[in-house]
């Protein structure tokens, strides 16, 4: 059994929180540049210019990309042969506390009823997965309120199939309009159970924007859905244009014979996430 010191995890998580909120991922920057070149609408072009300028300013100044630095969502792959001194969950929460304080990131976590701010952006939302090996892979995502509010889970009838899935996604994006700060990323969770679909849809957002799903049929659906969403014409920041969405990522799981759970998790254009393996 390998042991990792608590401080190693705390420092690594703190750095993930700060870096993810400060540096636009390289794949997102490439997507902005490609979209800017493709847009004919001068307003849409200008929005991309401003988004790229915002990313440069954040990098140079050390300020976050957006005032909404999100709830801290972490997907953690824990090797069966690794342990963390003092406990992994506690170390992750301490890392979030440190990252949000040291990076001067807004603390958005509050009591759902009294709305009293908890002051340190904890507890983090942590999804653990036990895997073979002796390493710890920690993926951090800053999930802003605006885009999370536009996300939905539904239980379709199995007979609704792919057509029902398509309709639900398109209706959701149309209804969301400018609220999730387009161009968005769409994570789609299909199958499993109610909660499983929601987690799959969020985890799908961790994929590289320009990767291709290993299953060719699913890859074709991602491409088709991206085109259909972009045909809505909502455009960057909802001001019209060809680029409403940068990528659609699907994750699926086997399902009960009577069910077809579907989750649509919308992420804003900044798509802040970062990973580390310890």
Contact residues for ligand LMR (CB under 6 A)? 67-68, 144-146, 181
The beta-strand segments (E) located in 25-122 are 71-79, 82-84
Which DSSP symbol is given to 86? T
Minimum CB–partner distance for residue 213 and ligand LMR (Å): 29
Q: Using the minimum distance from each CB to ligand LMR, give the nearer residue, 150 or 197.
A: 150
Q: Between 105 and 181, name the residue whose CB sits nearer to ligand LMR.
A: 181
- CA 86 to the chain's CA centroid: 29
Q: How many CA atoms lie within 13 A of 161 on its CB side?
A: 2
* Pairwise CA distance, residues 118 & 110, whole Å: 5
Radius of gyration of the chain (CA): 19
Q: Of the two residues 106 and 223, which places its CB atom closer to ligand LMR in the complex?
A: 106
- The beta strand positions in the chain, using DSSP E, are 2-4, 71-79, 82-84, 125-131, 136-143, 152-156, 184-192, 245-255, 260-267, 273-277
- Measured from the CB atom, the residue of 202 and 213 that comes closer to ligand LMR is 202
12 vs 65, which CB is nearer to ligand LMR?
A: 65
CA torsion, points 115, 116, 119, 120, in degrees to nearest 10?
Answer: -50
Report, in Å, the least distance between residue 272 CB and ligand LMR. 12
- To ligand LMR, the closest distance from the beta carbon of 180 in angstroms equals 7
Task: Find the helix packing angle between 6-22 and 88-102, rounded to 10°.
Answer: 40
> Which residue in the shown chain puts its C-beta closest to ligand LMR?
146
Task: Supply the minimum distance, in Å, between the C-beta of residue 117 and ligand LMR.
Answer: 12
CA dist 13 and 275 (Å) reads 9
How far apart (Å, rounded) are the C-alpha atoms in residues 255 and 202? 18
Closer to ligand LMR by Cβ: residue 91 or 181: 181
Whose Cβ is closer to ligand LMR: residue 9's or residue 181's?
181
CB 220 to ligand LMR: min, Å = 32
Packed helices 216-230 and 161-176: angle between N→C axes, nearest 10 degrees? 40
Shortest CB 150 distance to ligand LMR, Å: 9
In whole angstroms, the minimum distance from the beta carbon of 67 to ligand LMR comes to: 5
């Amino acid at each position: 059994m390998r042991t990792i010191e608590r401080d190693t995890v705390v420092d690594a998580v703190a750095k993930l929180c700060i870096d993810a909120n400060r540096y636009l991922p390289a794949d997102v920057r490439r997507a902005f540049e490609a979209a800017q070149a493709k847009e004919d609408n001068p307003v849409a072009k200008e929005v991309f210019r401003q988004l790229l300028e915002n990313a440069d300013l954040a990098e140079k100044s050390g300020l976050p990309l957006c005032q909404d630095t999100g709830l801290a969502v972490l997907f953690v792959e824990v090797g069966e042969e690794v342990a963390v001194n003092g406990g992994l969950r506690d170390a992750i929460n301490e890392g979030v506390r440190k990252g949000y304080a040291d990076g001067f990131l807004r603390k958005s976590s509050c009591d759902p009823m009294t709305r009293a701010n908890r002051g340190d952006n904890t507890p983090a939302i942590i999804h653990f997965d036990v895997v073979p090996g002796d390493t710890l892979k920690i993926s951090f995502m800053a999930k802003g309120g605006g885009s999370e509010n536009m996300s939905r889970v539904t239980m379709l009838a199995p007979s609704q199939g792919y057509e029902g899935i398509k309709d639900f996604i398109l209706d959701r994006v149309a209804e969301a309009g400018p609220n999730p700060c387009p161009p968005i990323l769409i994570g789609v969770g299909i199958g499993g159970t109610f909660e499983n679909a929601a987690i799959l849809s969020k985890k799908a957002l961790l994929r590289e924007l320009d990767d291709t799903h290993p299953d060719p049929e699913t890859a074709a659906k991602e491409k088709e859905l991206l085109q259909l969403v972009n045909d809505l014409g909502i455009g960057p920041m909802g001001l019209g244009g060809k680029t409403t969405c940068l990528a659609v990522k699907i994750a699926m799981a086997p399902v009960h014979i009577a069910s077809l759970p579907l989750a649509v998790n919308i992420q804003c254009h900044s798509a802040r996430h970062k990973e580390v393996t310890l």
